[in-house]
Amino acid sequence: MITALLSLLLITTPPPVPPDSAPPTPEAQPESPPETPQEATPPKGPRVIVHAARHHDTAGYLIDASDTELVLVTRTGQTVRMDPKTIQYVELLLDPPAPIDVAIAMRNRKVLRGELIRDGFDSVDVRISGINLTLDRTELLSMTPLESTADRYQRLRDRYPVDHQSAHLKLCRWLVSEGAWEEAISELDRHLLQHRSSEAGQLRRVAKARSNFKSVDDDAITPTAQAQSHLPPPVNDETVNLVRLYEIHLKDAPKIAISTEARQALIDAYATSSLIPSDPQQRNTLLNGPAIDVLELMFQLRAREHYAHVQVLSEPPSLRRFRQHVHDAWLVPRCGMTDCHGGPDAGRFKLYRSPRLTDGMRTSNLLILDELTVDDGPMINWKTPSESILLQYALPRSEATHPHPPVEGWKAVFPRVRSGAMSASVRWIESMMRSPRPEYPVTSPISTQPSPDEAQRTPR
């Protein structure tokens, strides 16, 4: 009954965010205060926030609703009766049994997309691009659950037919980004039968590698913690965020957020610097203007102690290249298997691996590559990317200047030097920050230093 009556009260409900809209750009809001601790024992009934005229909101539990009266019990146990004519709309809070994908429309007209962890009266906990954020409820306009990948795929297949090359390729890209490997391979096979596309070929190689990795490892590594119990946990979200920050090019920066409190702390700490404006209006602009301007000021001030206050809400382009063209495409699927660099006999070059890779694993493996040096040289040669041991070991021995050691079961990743995968890997290294190469203020969770007796078993 309540559900039916609620529909009568949605007088001017904010428009839902369409699930087919372009991937929105996340922007964090300042952390909100904790939930009110004086809440009474909650009565039975859905949790709602009633938005009335003149921005007067009442939060509580809906007990009854009719055409003439809405009855609400507040969190402190007070019964409130409201006239539906004074109500603009009723917002029903979500209680998912597990995190769900949502689109959040903010009052500043920004749209966020991420996973809803907790929907509270005063704040909402979400995970966006691997970063956990707490959003102030007053900044939200509406929140719309998104359909599952499988349901959306079935609906989009008719919208993006294979006959329309660019539209169908968009569908293939989306399947790969969602990790729907089998569906992506099927659609890319259909695409390549009708169209010539180097991008489609590259996407299929990525999807096939990830699919093979998942099928081989599903039985052997469940869960990941048991499969790699010889390794410490990968780095946390704070470290992921910090590494992303150090890889930001200001001219091609990802979306970032810096709270007002963090901006004020920067101004107070460097108040005597000539880079901090003395004019109150200019300072106000710094407090409320684009976050990228504040980050540029941080870089100029070398205010590294304030870097942790910057939230990097999406991948910098260089790290996106690493994920798409190197790490998930061939590094972990080919080099990170159990009997190779993903197992207990991997030697100093160990890799984190899982059928479902996380940003913490990717960042951990990047830190390992950045720190590791073997007899032939650094795993990543920042001065001459094509000479990186990582890439040389992936080439056929006949074409490599530093061939992979002869071990049983090894196969080249790249078919030749002038291959698309080799070129994409070189472009990744070239896109990283290198002038000068930054020194991350963190280290890899696995020691890359040689042991006293470097005569270790060579992995397959």
Residue numbers in the chain where pLDDT is lower than 50: 1-38, 215-226, 455-460
- Per-residue H/E/C for the chain: CHHHHHHHHCCCCCCCCCCCCCCCCCCCCCCCCCCCCCCCCCCCCCEEEEEEHHHCEEEEEEEEECCCCEEEEECCCCEEEECHHHEEEEEECCCCCCCEEEEEEECCCCEEEEEEEEECCCEEEEEECCEEEEEEHHHEEEEEECCCHHHHHHHHHHHCCCCCHHHHHHHHHHHHHCCCHHHHHHHHHHHHHHCCCHHHHHHHHHHHHHHHHHHHHCCCCCCHHHHCCCCCCCCCHHHHHHHHHHCCCHHHCCCEEECHHHHHHHHHHCCCCCCCCCCHHHHHHHHHCCHHHHHHHHHHHCCHHHHHHEEECCCCHHHHHHHHHHHHHHHHHHHCCCCCCCCCCCCCCCCCCCCCCCHHHHHHHHHHHHHCEECCEECCCCCCHHHCHHHHCCCCCCCCCCCCCCCCCCCCCCCCCCCHHHHHHHHHHHHCCCCCCCCCCCCCCCCCCCCCCCCCCCCC
pLDDT digits over 414-429, tens only? 989 988 889 999 999 9
Task: Give this prediction's pTM.
Answer: 0.58
Query: What's the pLDDT at 17?
Result: 43
Q: Provide the residue ranges of all domains of the chain, joining segments of one domain with +.
A: 2-145, 149-217, 255-312, 316-431
Query: What's the pLDDT at 41?
Result: 62
Query: What's the pLDDT at 297?
Result: 95
Query: What's the pLDDT at 36?
Result: 45
Query: What's the pLDDT at 27?
Result: 41
Query: What's the pLDDT at 10?
Result: 41
The CATH architecture assigned to 2-145 reads Roll (2.30)
